[in-house]
A and B are shown apart, each in its own frame.
Chain A
Amino acid sequence: MTGLRNALRQIWATMALPLLAIVMALVAGAVVIILSSALVPGHGFDPGLPLTAYKALFEGSLGTDNARVETLVQAAPLLLAALGIGLGFKAGLFNIGAQGQFLMGAIAAVAAAGALKGDGALVAIPLSLLAGCAAGAAWGLIPGFLKAVSGAHEVVTTIMLNFIALALLSFLVSGPLRLPKSPQPVTAPVSDAALPIFIGRDGHIGIILAFLAVPVVWFLLFRTTRGFEIRAVGANPDASRYAGMKPRRLIILTMTVAGLFAGLAGAGNILGINHQMSATFSTTVGFDAITVALLGRSHPIGIMLAALLFGGMRAGAALMQIKAGVPVELVDVVQSIILLFLVASPIVRRLFRLRGVKASLGTTDTMARTYGNEVIR
């Protein structure tokens, strides 16, 4: 019986803070809704609006079969990208570049799909996905290499690369990849490389890939020597050096793999949902994934749960806007408040007198240092 009690205590210790953060954020979101309800057309001041809104949110994410599939569809890219970001966190790296890596993956997949037109799905799909992985990996390799070799801080370089990716995307879609005779700049449809649907109306097989990645990353992190090294370098680079590990190589490796995952997420989305790319393609996946990784405390299982939560919120937000008139941006507001609670965790713990609850951030989960070029030896 004590074994079970200990296990439960462990789970509570790890999950208490994120759960509390979510609850508090929903409460704060409700306050926001109430206060702004006067502005919602057709309502006037309405203290019951949050209930309507959250009910619609729930319905839109879990209420119907279609909704549940949509939740999975929204969760899949978040899951993949966040796994990569979480891997970075474990190594002490702050990868804000998931957005750019995602876009590069999408563009590469579209380009590959265009080149492989007519070669059949069996060839086009794997190769297009691989192209996406490669492009994302390259977009992660650059900041990883720069950090390892010159100490350039990955926060700034990845932010810059995000914008470069946007420019590259706009250029490619308006230029070399542009579908001839299209009024708006779009690429050719991905045709053969389109991911088949296996569930519901939109549930493409990219979802399976995303969820398969969870045990893969878990195995990598906790069962292989490489994962041991990644975690060691993030926890104590000096002791790792003494143990013979090579921090430089691990940084490059981790950033590349993180980029690969985000690129795969982009490829999956474009091949599974949009099926072609327009110059105005925009997404919040890259930044949502950061929150997902933090909420999941950089652990694959936690990330999976957090991705489902956010995927559900994004899926249900549309219905919430239709039924309750509450704009979808509420999800962003809730997201920022979740982060606020996670980050202010020492204060939160004192406020709620949580004992034995592990510190959320600032331990080995994330270690964002300064822009200063620190020498990596």
Chain B
Amino acid sequence: MTNVPPTTIAPPEEVPPPPPVPALEMRGITKRYPGVVANDRIDLDVKPGEIHALLGENGAGKTTLMNILYGLARPDEGEILLDGKVVDIAGPSDAIARGISMVHQHFMLVPVLSVAENIILGEEITRAGGFLDRAAARDRIAKLAEQFGFDVDPDAQVAKLSVGQQQRVEILKALYRDTRILVLDEPTAVLTPQETDEIFLLLRRLAESGRSIIFISHKLYEVLAIADRITVIRRGRVVGERLPKATTEDDLAELMVGREVMLSVDRGESHPGAVVLAIDDLRVKDDRGREVVRGVSLQVRAGEILGIAGVAGNGQDELVEAIIGLRNVSGGTVTLAGQDVTSAAPRQMHDRGVAYVPADRHRYGLILSFSIADNLVLNRYNRPPFARGIVRNDAAVLEEATRAIGQYDIRTPSATIPAGTLSGGNQQKVVVAREFDRDLTLLVLDQPTRGLDVGSIEFIHRQIIAKRNASTAVLLVSAELDEILEVSDRIAVMYGGRLVGEMDARTADKNEVGLVMATGGRTAQASRGAAEDGAAGVSTGSGEPPA
């Protein structure tokens, strides 16, 4: 027998199997809107049975990407592949037919219809003549519900369901259509921690049944708890892909938030005086009746800037509106310079020296069809010198407007053209000019530089600091972490309707604050533990860091 070297053909069972074809691949997706590139050559792939998280801040481009997948928008460049084949998705019904379903951040449920009616809408089972076969629908829904451990009453009216239940109806809608790829857009934004855990269990079961799940979120601990893979998007580009085991919250936060160089404004020292604004255990409901401010207490002193950081939608807008008097308070008190102003009207607050720069300047800040001059005197239009009795004094208005336009550097050819013709930055300057132009006790600003150019941002920051130096108490609410760090003396974070983490701005670490913004102080560890303990009763509560 000669020495024949052993063959190098491995036995069959050792041949590595070909890599599974991804259920979904998006290659080079680019989408431009006027003035902004929402998606910039994004690549994404999702395996069957995988839970894939899309992580990024508000406005990073996650929702645009998913809208393209669902047929609600068309990409300018790039292609989509399902199970390895290039497809062209013409619209939502086409997407549904191909097995893609989307659960939107703002539910697409018809409130007055029942659960069953909402689920079957668009996919109705009918008998002869177009009559709905409600029995068959109910059967199918019941089977699905049982399969995945739901508990739904098909005849309940959707308007009467809790938010968590409504979301489950949305997911049932997707399952009813034999979805292979389920996209969830910020699904836990409206859920309690308990409901969140229940949803996670459900998603696991769905993934185990072979479905792919895309999970859009900005919440770090959740993403680490539930995802199999994480893709981070920032400003329309993919900035990183991670496996949860191989990353940490710090790492993800850094990817999400990035390091940018901003023009820095010399903040100077603050010399806080007496307490001007005191809020005690404030509770406020949103337009749908849900409590979104869950017992907030804070104090702002004269000559200091308290910056409240937080991702939009954690109750900040409602908090500010309640302070100003544009929204009713359902519990707690607001005190201004020692006096109770909990139920004061906006005008009364104004007369007490409170100024407000609203987040939605088109709604509360300006009347776009009115002239710039009229907008500049909107808070004093019926007082001398702008009016004598009932008659307005247009000359005085114009004079004041010209002065303000010069002082606040508002770029406009004239004071009499409608405010709506100004750029966003100049519009905000009009609001600032109007609100800042007197001695103020308290200045409240909500997202004051959103959507503005760098020059306007710097200008407004300077104005804020000038007010603080003039002993005004300043409450600044912003989702832009850089802004908060630049301008504030003290920082607090708003998460899930509560204030978490108060710190001195000088010593605050950006990534640490970003972490708290995205997690509320709750970590992935605690979350995984909660999910394994099951849904019943075990909850660390949102906002409290684990002991």
Are the C-beta atoms of A242 and B356 separated by less than 8 Å? Answer: yes
- The reply to whether the CB of B392 lies closer than 8 angstroms to some CB of chain A is yes
> Which positions 268-291 of chain B face chain A at CB distance < 8 Å?
none
Stretch at the interface among A65-73, A225-233, A336-344: A225-233
Among A223, A225, A226, A243, the residue within 8 A (CB) of B379 is A243
- Which chain A positions have C-beta within 8 A of B381? 225, 228, 243
Chain A residues with CB under 8 Å of B394's CB are 223
Residue of A nearest to B360 (CB): A238
Q: Which residues of A contact B345 (CB under 8 A)?
A: 244
Which of B347, B364, B367 has the most chain A CB atoms inside 10 A of its CB? B367
Known A225-B381, A225-B382, A241-B346; judge A235-B390 contact (CB<8 A). Answer: no
Measured CA separation A243–B382 after assembly (Å): 10
Residues on A with C-beta less than 8 A from B363 are: 236, 238-239
A20 to B378, CA, bound (A): 36
- Please indicate the chain B residues that have their CB under 8 angstroms from the CB of A236 in the complex: 363, 366-369
Q: Check if B365 is an interface residue, CB within 8 A of chain A.
A: yes
A228 CA / B379 CA spacing, docked (Å): 12
Set A224, A226, A235, A242: member contacting B346, Cβ < 8 A: A242
Whether a CB of chain B sits under 8 angstroms from the CB of A364 is: yes
Given the complex of chains A and B, what is the CA–CA distance between A224 and B387 in angstroms?
8
Instruction: State whether B390 touches A239 (Cβ < 8 A).
Output: no
B326 at the interface (CB under 8 A from A): yes
Q: Are B364 and A238 in contact (CB under 8 A)?
A: yes
- Is A223's CB under 8 angstroms from B365's CB? no
**Does any Cβ of B come within 8 Å of A363's Cβ?**
yes
CB distance A225 to B378 under 8 Å? no
CA distance A243 to B363 in the complex (A): 12
Q: Is the CB of A232 within 8 A of B370?
A: yes
Q: CA of A287 to CA of B345 in the docked complex: distance in angstroms? A: 40
A238 to B321, CA, bound (A): 12
Q: Which of A184-235 contact B (CB under 8 A)?
A: 223-226, 228, 231-232, 235
Q: Are A228 and B369 in contact (CB under 8 A)?
A: no
By a CB distance below 8 angstroms, the chain A residues around B50 are none
Residue of B nearest to A233 (CB): B367
A-B contacts at CB below 8 angstroms, number: 59
With a CB–CB cut-off of 8 A, which chain A residues contact B350?
Answer: 244
Quote the shortest CB–CB distance from B217 to chain A (angstroms).
31
0/1 interface trace, chain A 229-270, chain B, CB 8 Å (1 if under): 001100110111111100000000000000000000000000
Per-residue CB proximity of B373-390 to A under 8 Å, as 1/0?
010001101100001001
Alpha-carbon gap, A224 to B364, bound state (A): 22
Asked whether any CB of chain A lies closer than 8 Å to the CB of B391, the reply is yes
Residue of A nearest to B361 (CB): A239
CA distance A226 to B374 in the complex (A): 14
A225 to B390, CA, bound (A): 5
Contact A244 B364 (CB under 8 A): no
How many angstroms from the CA of A235 to the CA of B324 in the assembled complex?
A: 22
Which of A231, A238, A240 has the largest count of B CB atoms less than 10 A from its CB?
A: A238
Please give the distance in Å from A162's CB to the nearest CB on chain B: 31
CA distance A132 to B394 in the complex (A): 35
Q: Who on chain A is nearest to B347 by CB?
A: A244
A226 and chain B: residue at smallest CB distance: B390
Residues of A within 8 A of B370 (CB): 231-232, 235
Q: Which of A224, A231, A240, A243 has the most CB of B within 10 A?
A: A243
Bound form: Cα–Cα A224–B391 in Å:
4
User: Which A residues are CB-close (under 8 A) to B382?
Assistant: 225, 228
Chain B residues with CB under 8 Å of A240's CB are 367
A223 contacts which chain B residues (CB < 8 A)?
A: 391-392, 394
Q: Mark A160-175 against chain B: 1 for CB-CB distance below 8 A, else 0.
A: 0000000000000000
Distance in angstroms between the alpha carbons of A243 and B374 in the assembled complex: 12
| Residue pair A225, B365 in contact (C-beta under 8 Å) | no
A241 partner residues in chain B, CB cutoff 8 A: 326, 346
Measured CA separation A239–B357 after assembly (Å) = 12
Given contacts A243-B378, A244-B346, are A364 and B369 in contact (CB under 8 A)? yes
Q: A241-B326, A241-B346, A244-B346 are in contact. Are A228 and B374 (CB under 8 A)?
A: yes
The residue among B358, B368, B370, B394 with the most chain A CB atoms within 10 A of its own CB is B370
Taking CB atoms and an 8 Å cut-off, the chain A residues in 330-363 that contact chain B are 363
From 331 to 348 in chain B, residues with beta carbon under 8 angstroms from any chain A beta carbon are 345-347
Which chain B residue shows the least CB distance to A240? B367
Least Cβ–Cβ distance between B456 and chain A, in angstroms: 21
Q: When chains A and B are docked, how far (Å) is the Cα of A262 from the Cα of B220?
A: 64
The CA of A157 and the CA of B366, in the complex, are separated in Å by 32
Give the complex CA separation of A226 and B389 in angstroms. Answer: 10
Inter-chain CA distance A228–B369, complex, in Å, is 12
| Chain A residues with CB below 8 A from B387, complex form | 225
With beta carbons under 8 angstroms apart, the residue of A226, A231, A239 that contacts B366 is: A239
Q: How far is the CB of B110 from chain A (nearest CB, A)?
A: 16
Contact (Cβ within 8 A) A239 B367: yes
Q: How far is the CA of A228 from the CA of B391 in the complex (A)?
A: 10
Residue of A nearest to B345 (CB): A244
CB pair A239 B391 closer than 8 Å: no
| Chain A hits for B367, CB < 8 A | 232, 235-236, 239-240
Give, as a whole number of angstroms, the nearest-CB distance from A99 to chain B: 30
Contacting pair B326 A224 (CB below 8 A): no
Q: Give bound CA distance, A241 to B324, whole Å.
A: 12
Query: Which residues of chain A are near B369, meaning CB under 8 Å?
Result: 235-236, 363-364
Complex Cα distance, B364 from A265, in Å, reads 38
Rounded to whole Å, the gap between the CB of B202 and the closest CB of chain A is: 36
| Residue in chain A with minimal CB distance to B324 | A242
- Residue of B whose beta carbon sits closest to that of A365: B369
* Contact with A239, one of B324, B347, B378, B392 (Cβ below 8 angstroms): B378
B368 cross-chain contacts in A, Cβ below 8 A: 235-236
**Docked CA distance A363–B363 (Å):** 15
Please report the C-alpha to C-alpha distance between residue A226 and residue B378 in the assembled complex, in whole angstroms.
Answer: 13
* Docked pose: A239 CA to B358 CA in angstroms: 10
Most buried by B among A238, A239, A241, A363: A239
CB distance from B363 to the nearest CB of A (A): 5
Q: Separation in Å of the B369 CB from the closest CB of chain A?
A: 5
Q: Name which of B363, B365, B382 has the most chain A CB atoms within 10 A of its CB.
A: B382
- Chain B nearest CB from A226 CB (Å) reads 6
Interface residues of A in 20-34 (CB under 8 A from B): none
Nearest Cβ distance between residue A238 and chain B, in whole angstroms?
5
Residue of A nearest to B380 (CB): A243
C-alpha spacing A243/B391, complex, angstroms: 18
Contact residues of A between 94 and 113, Cβ < 8 Å to B: none
What is the CB-to-nearest-CB distance from B359 to chain A, in angstroms, rounded to a whole number?
12
Q: Is the CB of B364 within 8 A of A242?
A: yes
Interchain CB contact under 8 A, B364 and A225: no
Question: Which residues of chain B are within 8 angstroms of A238 by Cβ–Cβ distance?
Answer: 363-364
Q: How far is the CB of A279 from chain B (nearest CB, A)?
A: 43
Q: From A224, which residue of chain B is reached at the shortest CB distance?
A: B390
In addition to A228-B374, A236-B369, 15 A-B residue pairs with Cβ atoms within 8 Å of each other are: A223-B392, A225-B382, A226-B390, A228-B382, A231-B370, A235-B367, A235-B370, A236-B363, A239-B366, A242-B356, A242-B364, A243-B346, A243-B379, A244-B346, A244-B347
| Cβ contacts A to B, 17 pairs, < 8 Å | A223-B391, A223-B392, A228-B374, A228-B382, A231-B370, A232-B378, A235-B369, A235-B370, A236-B363, A239-B363, A240-B367, A243-B378, A243-B379, A243-B381, A244-B345, A244-B347, A244-B379
Q: Which residues of B contact A (CB under 8 A)?
A: 324, 326, 345-347, 350, 356, 358, 363-370, 374, 378-379, 381-382, 387, 390-392, 394
Across the A-B interface, the 7 shortest Cβ-Cβ residue pairs: A244-B347, A225-B382, A236-B367, A238-B363, A243-B378, A242-B346, A224-B390
Interface residues of A (CB under 8 A from B): 223-226, 228, 231-232, 235-236, 238-244, 363-364
